[in-house]
Amino acid sequence: MGEQMRVRSKVRNLCIRALTGSLDTNTLVHLIRRMFQNYDLNERTGFPDSIPIPMQNAARQIVEDCINSGRFLEFVALLIEVDRNGIMGRAYRIRDLQDIIEEVVDLGFLYDAERRVFVEDAGQQRTKNWGLLREGDEYLFTFLRMDIVGNSNLVRSYEGDVIAHTYSDLRSIVQRIVENRNGRIWSWEGDGGVCAFHGAGASNPATLCAMEILHEIFLYNMLECPLMEPVMVRLAVHNGTCEYHEVFEEINAEVIKKLADIESRFTEPNSVTISKTAHSTLDAAITAYLRAFQPDARNSLYRYALEFKS
């Protein structure tokens, strides 16, 4: 079951009225089985098979089940598809659909027509799951990992408040850059963390963020860093599928382990390392700035680093 979102009574009633005025019970059951494959309306409502289920009861049950399973936004997106494209070649117009969409927008979500899903309105809220991902479901992500080089030595060499201020600045830099490209910080410790980008094209923004973070930290060292030495970082980008969990420590995925391995074993200070799989989905405009290298027989990787020509 997904996390239950808070849906106002007005929105529930709008959806129930829309379904009742737009579809018959059989069509509604066919529709909801796109989301819940073995959905049994009689079992859910308590009506025996021999008694027709009133449309009002059917609509109310389905709306409540979508809300309680954390899939209400997916259901509204499905209604948009039905209104635009019909069902099995037959056209349907969903009553009050625009009013429903406006209510969902008021909840802090926008409809992404290209992906056919609702996503968070970043101007109103930013949550770890983009308001979209369900606990325990598997998705494709691109991950960005950053680690501060020589953290232990820095902590020993400077006063605690100086280190805390510096590391807080670095986190702010990372958060601003990552969220500007619709990424999320999923895990953060004092000396670095892991950021996530969701979807098939996410390697592009993840890699661009890594490059921009490197640039911003270079400028930070030149202009603002309170330490007597520059802060050096290692960044790595890797993609793959894993289950989503709100608690990062519950994600036990090979993609996360590989990401850490790439960063710790194959990344030089003040550089970005991109895995082969992440590189394969990058735009040519980005790959032009990357240099291939092969640290061992098992790994083909790509590097970006700041270079200054004399």
Average pLDDT, the chain: 93
Q: Render pLDDT for 23-47 as a digit per residue (tens, 0 to 9).
A: 999 999 999 999 999 999 999 999 9
- DSSP codes of every residue in 93-153: --TTHHHHHHHHHHTTEEEETTTTEEEE-TTT---TTTTT--TT-EEEEEEEEEEETTHHH
Tokens representing 134?
């369900």
Single-letter residue type at 68: N
Beta-carbon neighbour count of residue 256 at 10 Å? Answer: 21
Note whether 98 and 146 are same-domain residues. no
Residue 4's pLDDT is: 53
Average the pLDDT over 131-155 and give the result: 94
Note whether 145 and 284 are same-domain residues. yes
Residue 310's pLDDT is: 54
Whether 1 is in a domain gets the answer: no
Note whether 148 and 252 are same-domain residues. yes
Note whether 101 and 173 are same-domain residues. no
pLDDT at residue 122 greater than cutoff 90: no
pLDDT at residue 69 greater than cutoff 80: yes
Q: Render pLDDT for 222-244 as a digit per residue (tens, 0 to 9).
A: 999 999 999 999 999 999 999 99
Burial of 217 (0-12, 13-18, 19+ CB in 10 A): buried
pLDDT at residue 1 greater than cutoff 50: no
Domain housing 113: 9-120
Average the pLDDT over 5-11 and give the result: 85
Residue 162 belongs to a domain with what CATH number? 3.30.70.1230
Residue 114's pLDDT is: 80
Note whether 178 and 277 are same-domain residues. yes
Note whether 114 and 165 are same-domain residues. no
Residue 107's pLDDT is: 87
Whether 128 is in a domain gets the answer: no
Whether 164 is in a domain gets the answer: yes
Note whether 212 and 98 are same-domain residues. no
Q: How many domains does the chain have?
A: 2
Average the pLDDT over 246-253 and give the result: 93
